[in-house]
Structure 1
Amino acid sequence: MSQALDLIAASSGTPASVWRASTQLQQLPRIRLDELAPPGCRLVVVAPHPDDEVLACGGLLASLAADTRPGLLVSVSDGEGSHPGSLHWTPQRLRTTRELESRIALARLGLDLHHWDWQRLHLPDAAVDADELAARLRNLIRPGDRLISTWRYDGHCDHEATALACAQVAEQLHARHFQAPVWAWHWALPGDPRLPWSQALRLDLDEAAVQRKREAIQAHASQLEGPDPVLGEQLLETLLQPFEVFFP
């Protein structure tokens, strides 16, 4: 297990009630939808695993469902490593199942794949190499794109490698990069100095966007089932608050 994954495993999780009570979260500077994804800019979402686009910024994507501008979703890995050692959820079964789950989830968010280009890179789950990913992304990212990834210190090695690759490519190609925490909501606490709160921006979501995000998460059944699911109820309750947080 990597040091990053140790961070997740070592935490019993922070209850959603603790985050809801945080005045710091309530007072974060707001960012509007048209500031995060301005008209005329292509939105690019780079997800380490099939479901991270929903967990990190599903509310943002749901809020853009009626927008017909082209977008790009990059699925870095197939998520085949989510159940190591399982006789039921073998890597091959996960590759097939998680792609189908993603298609259902994207439809529930309202994303029209006629307008969105979906690139699946098939890099190895739990072993994403930032340099290899950056080389692949250079062929996909354009100057002026708005690029969203997971956060550089999120606590999962693939989330971190993805963020590092996106940061490199965004700087080289003059795209603007935002990072969204996912697993940090599990292991961190309000005011945790390991998170760059002074840079954080909050996108408020309406009830319809939160509901679409909830329905999209439920499409990822492989991550929700069993006595010890990959995505526990405590983390999901936090991720379904009526806002999403981004670090520029």
Structure 2
Amino acid sequence: MAEHPLPFDNYSVRPGSFAASLGATVVVAPHPDDEALGCGGLLALLRQAGLPVAAVLVSDGTMSHPRSQLFSLAARQAVREAEFRHALTLLGFDANEPLLLGLPDSRVPSSGAETGFTTAVTALQQFLQQQAAATVLVPWRRDPHPDHRATSQLVAAALAGMPQPPRRLEYVVWAWERAAPDDLPTASDGVQGFRLDIATGLPQKLRAIAAHRSQVAPGVFMDDAEGFLLSAEMLAHFETPYEVFFEAVAP
């Protein structure tokens, strides 16, 4: 857990009605469950407001339990993608097919990578255009997980190549537990943090988190004792009626 005070409780609060101002929205999740943890409440509010939403899953999600013998890599990927789709349904998504980039879990290519990065950027651009996205939800650029940071770089590159890029909101996942002082926003980032009141979307968010059964005790991949599970302490951060976002401020 972070050993220094986080500033999030000091951020101003925006009402749930803020969601209605975002228009058609695409959420970009590094792994299955990040969409529910980081911004599941906002996604529920968007659907409650009747706005179209779509999702992008960046990695294949296979490395949470890499030592499983009962579940092959392909089987683990299938389980996690099924959980992802189920969670989206619980958040109110319709039959809109998500974009599954299938990049290697724990090795999502970052800017400058020789393989994978450019292809993923192009696919993401095309998807955002197809969805007529007005807003994109993406992990905080220094969220302390390499795949989250790489995902932020993928989205930044995609938006930089679009003549009219969508609005970008950055959500936090691992910053709640692992953030060092340098991981948090500074004046040079040019962003403003705020908390969003998600009270009316919280029940859906909690059901969506629970849908990721392989990541919550007792889990699904039971034969990897060293595999990853979300701790009770970690989950507690996402059981409150607020979500934290950062957005660029006008210069």
Shorter chain as normaliser: what TM range?
A: 0.7 to 0.9
What is the deviation of 1:80? 1.3
Residues 152-201 of structure 1, C-alpha deviation per residue, up to 9 Å, x if partnerless?
21121111111111122223322221111101111137xx4531177211
Aligned residue pair count: 225
Question: What is the CA RMSD across the aligned residues, in angstroms?
Answer: 2.5
Counterpart of 2:8 in structure 1 is 25
Counterpart of 1:111 in structure 2 is 93
1:97 is paired with a residue of what secondary structure? helix
**Distance (Å, rounded) in 2 between the aligned partners of 1:193 and 1:49:** 23
What is the deviation of 1:135? 2.3
1:139 is paired with a residue of what secondary structure? helix
Equivalent of 2:193 in 192, 196, 200: 200
Equivalent of 1:183 in 163, 169, 174: 174
Q: Which runs of 5 or more structure 1 residues have no equivalent in the other structure?
A: 1-12
**Distance (Å, rounded) in 2 between the aligned partners of 1:137 and 1:37:** 24
What is the deviation of 1:122? 1.4
Counterpart of 1:240 in structure 2 is 239
**Distance (Å, rounded) in 2 between the aligned partners of 1:141 and 1:108:** 22
**Residues 159-174 of structure 1: matches in 2 within 5 Å?**
159-173=148-162, 174=165
Counterpart of 2:207 in structure 1 is 215
Q: Which stretches of structure 1, 4 residues or more, deviate above 6 A after TM superposition?
A: none
Report if aligned partners of 2:43, 2:53 keep a CA contact under 8 Å in 1: no
Amino acid at match of 2:109: D
What is the deviation of 1:76? 1.2
**Distance (Å, rounded) in 1 between the aligned partners of 2:104 and 2:68:** 17
**Distance (Å, rounded) in 2 between the aligned partners of 1:221 and 1:117:** 21
Amino acid at match of 1:187: R
Gap change, CA 1:65 and 1:239, over 3 Å in 2: same
**Residues 43-82 of structure 1: matches in 2 within 5 Å?**
43-82=25-64
Equivalent of 2:145 in 156, 161, 181: 156
**Distance (Å, rounded) in 2 between the aligned partners of 1:80 and 1:178:** 27
In percent, how many aligned pairs have the same letter? 35
Report if aligned partners of 2:175, 2:183 keep a CA contact under 8 Å in 1: no
Gap change, CA 1:37 and 1:75, over 3 Å in 2: farther
Counterpart of 1:9 in structure 2 is none
Q: Which runs of 5 or more structure 2 residues have no equivalent in the other structure?
A: 111-116, 219-224
What is the deviation of 1:112? 2.1
1:30 is paired with a residue of what secondary structure? strand
TM-score, with normalisation over the residues of structure 1?
A: 0.80
Equivalent of 2:109 in 129, 143, 156: 129
